[in-house]
Amino acid sequence: MRRVVWATFIALLSLGSAAYADNYPSHPITIVVPFAAGGPSDAMARILGERMKATLGEAVLVENVTGAGGSIGVGRAVRAAPDGYTVSFGHLGTHVCNGAIYRLGYDLVDDLEPVVLLPSNPMIIVSKTAVPATSLAELLAWLKARPSPATAGTAGAGSGSHVAGLYFENVTGLKLQYVPYRGTAPALNDLVAGQIDLMIDQTSNSINQVRAGTIRAYAVTDAKRVESAPDIPTTDEAGLPGFHMTLWSGMWVPKRTPKEIVARLNAAVVEALNDHSVRKQLGNLGLQIPAGDRLSPEELGLWQKAEIAKWWPMIRAAEVKVE
Ligand code: MLT
């Protein structure tokens, strides 16, 4: 059956992708989010998907395909038909770092077509409320004095929360005991419940729990504070100068997806990012929307390659072991 779909599609493609694109979309589109529902990636995909529906005239659904630091969900999208109906949602972790950790069975650059760069957010250092520290300096002292490494929740090896942990270890010389989950939503639940000690999470995921006082925040990994959380210091202010990490997201489609369809999807996302209520929702989560001149598919392609060159050496040096 799949072979028939493919053959029909390739035949249509040869009839001219322009003609094919004219009828696009003619049924719902699926965004594959490689992490658990309720997490930061899922939240952003759903906010954008809801608004894209208005532009594209078809439902934009979210499917959560989790595991292996997001590499399983990305693999699902890579193997999908290049017809514009399967979109790969991901970020620095899934579409850059995983390439330096896993034998993926696909190439993050050669097997995917960039569609658009999405909002980014600094990471935030948070802990369970039982940790006897109220500042980053006290947290570092507590971590240093511990007989065994503290437990740190992540969304799996290669995920944003894990790479932030590797970078934190690199900068502080401290060791962390990673506890992998299928996303930072379930990890955050365990942090609130005091089952794990800390996370270096996306601000957009932890910010509401910080506001609710169910977890404690120490710093955001950026040179400037987050507008919607002005009371949380930067790592520069809190005593870890230069420990900066911003997790950016993006959308891709399978290679050979007609460029007219890539352009259609890109336009729908750009329209969503310019929508007042979408911007308000994203801003409230501490997400920063890229400038307009960074929203072309080509820009995402260039940025992804630059980030691969930047992050792979550090990750490879960390010799991350995955099953
Ligand atoms: C998630 O949505 O769970 C996150 O993006 C995971 C992560 O990379 O930390």
Q: What is the pLDDT of residues 207-256, one digit of tens each?
A: 999 999 999 999 999 999 999 899 999 999 999 999 999 999 999 999 99
pLDDT tens digit sequence for 52-104: 999 999 999 999 999 999 999 999 999 999 999 999 999 999 999 999 999 99
Average of per-residue pLDDT across 152-158: 97
**122 neighbors 167 (Cβ within 8 angstroms):** no
Residue nearest to atom 5 of ligand 1 (CA): 41
Q: Could you tell me if the CB of 41 is within 6 A of ligand 1?
A: yes
Contacts of 261 (CB under 8 A, 6+ apart): 17, 20, 21, 24, 83, 84, 253
Binning pLDDT at 50, 70 and 90, where does residue 318 land?
Answer: confident
Single pTM value for the model = 0.93
pLDDT tens digit sequence for 104-128: 999 999 999 999 999 999 999 999 9
Task: Verify cis geometry, omega within 30 degrees of 0, for the bond prior to 25.
Answer: yes
Mean pLDDT, the chain, as a whole number? 94
C-alpha–C-alpha distance, residues 158 and 42, integer Å: 17
3-class SS at 252? strand
Please say if the pLDDT value at position 289 is more than 80: yes
Q: Could you tell me if the CB of 121 is within 6 A of ligand 1?
A: no
Please say if the pLDDT value at position 13 is more than 60: no
- For a mutational test of ligand 1's pocket, the pick from 31, 32, 41, i.e. the residue with the most ligand atoms closer than 8 A to its C-beta, is 41
Binning pLDDT at 50, 70 and 90, where does residue 46 land?
Answer: very high
Q: What is the pLDDT of residue 321?
A: 75
Please say if the pLDDT value at position 29 is more than 90: yes
Average of per-residue pLDDT across 9-35: 80
CA 8 / ligand 1 centre spacing (Å): 36
Q: What is the pLDDT of residue 146?
A: 97
Q: Could you tell me if the CB of 98 is within 6 A of ligand 1?
A: no
Atom of ligand 1 nearest to the CA of 36: 3
Please say if the pLDDT value at position 310 is more than 60: yes
Q: What is the pLDDT of residue 6?
A: 55
- Tokens coding 268: 């729908």
